[in-house]
Amino acid sequence: MSPAPRPARIETAYVREPGYAERYRDARFRTGSGPRTDRRERRAITKLLRACAVDDGPWLDVPCGAGRLSDLLPGPVVQVDRDPAMVRAVERTDTTKICASAHALPFADATFAGALCMRLLQHIPNGDERVRVLSELRRVTRGPIVMSFFHAASFQHARRVVSRRLRRKPVSGRSAVTLRRFFAELQRAGLEPVRCAPLLPFLSDQWVVLARPRHD
């Protein structure tokens, strides 16, 4: 049975160029370095899920993109993305698909047994805004939450910063913070960090973190 949505805050429409969602689904993780990244992310997510007790559903995948990682979740999945084209690009037919923002999820408290939030937080440069998204995940989830963020203490992030300065590039849309700062933001959102897994220690800036709701 699908979770009962509740009214969500109206936000500005999310617009990408035509065909972006299909290109993301069909090429982003299937060509070039994409397959290696996909394998590393899958390995990290699977490792963290095995490290905790999990309920078999329902589970939330937000933002789901084209649904690449939803099959890793251990129960019925609700796929949520702000981009309606991404929602339409999802090929699975056995999931519930909803167009909504992670900033204001249209679900009742504790609806989900767990949640997955990959490749979102690095696009949010403001700590208070990240805490807001994390708090929404905490609100709608009663179990473990697996999420990714970009770690500032990594070779990949340092290279990006140096390259930006030397080439005078505009500020990247990807933001990195230290693990300590990210854990502090989890605490502010009512979450307790449990375990983390870097995709490539000290090289890649992407880390995957397992957290659970804190009950004070």
Q: What DSSP state is assigned to residue 75?
A: S
CB contact at 8 A, 213 and 192: yes
Residue range 150-157: mean pLDDT, rounded: 78
Per-residue pLDDT at 54:
84
* E strand spans, the chain: 59-61, 77-81, 96-99, 114-117, 145-150, 191-198, 206-213
Per-residue pLDDT at 16:
79
Residue range 128-140: mean pLDDT, rounded: 98
pLDDT per residue as tens digits for the range 4-42: 444 333 344 556 789 999 999 999 999 999 999 999 999
Per-residue pLDDT at 215:
83
Q: Which of 113-122, 150-159, 166-175 has the highest mean pLDDT?
A: 113-122
Mean pLDDT of the chain: 88
Q: Residues of the chain with pLDDT > 90: what percent?
A: 73
Per-residue pLDDT at 4:
47
Residue range 93-120: mean pLDDT, rounded: 97
Say yes or no to pLDDT of 158 above 90. no
Residue range 136-149: mean pLDDT, rounded: 97
Please tell me the pTM assigned to this model.
0.88
Per-residue pLDDT at 164:
67
Per-residue pLDDT at 174:
80
Residue range 135-147: mean pLDDT, rounded: 98
Residue range 97-116: mean pLDDT, rounded: 97
Phi, psi of 74 (to 5 degrees): -90, 30
Say yes or no to pLDDT of 171 above 90. no
Per-residue pLDDT at 84:
95
- Give the chain's domains with CATH numbers: 20-213 (3.40.50.150)
Say yes or no to pLDDT of 56 above 90. no
Edge-first strand order for the sheet with 206-213 is 96-99, 77-81, 59-61, 114-117, 145-150, 206-213, 191-198
Per-residue pLDDT at 191:
98
User: What distance in Å separates the CA atoms of residue 91 and residue 81, rounded to the nearest whole number?
Assistant: 14
Per-residue pLDDT at 53:
84
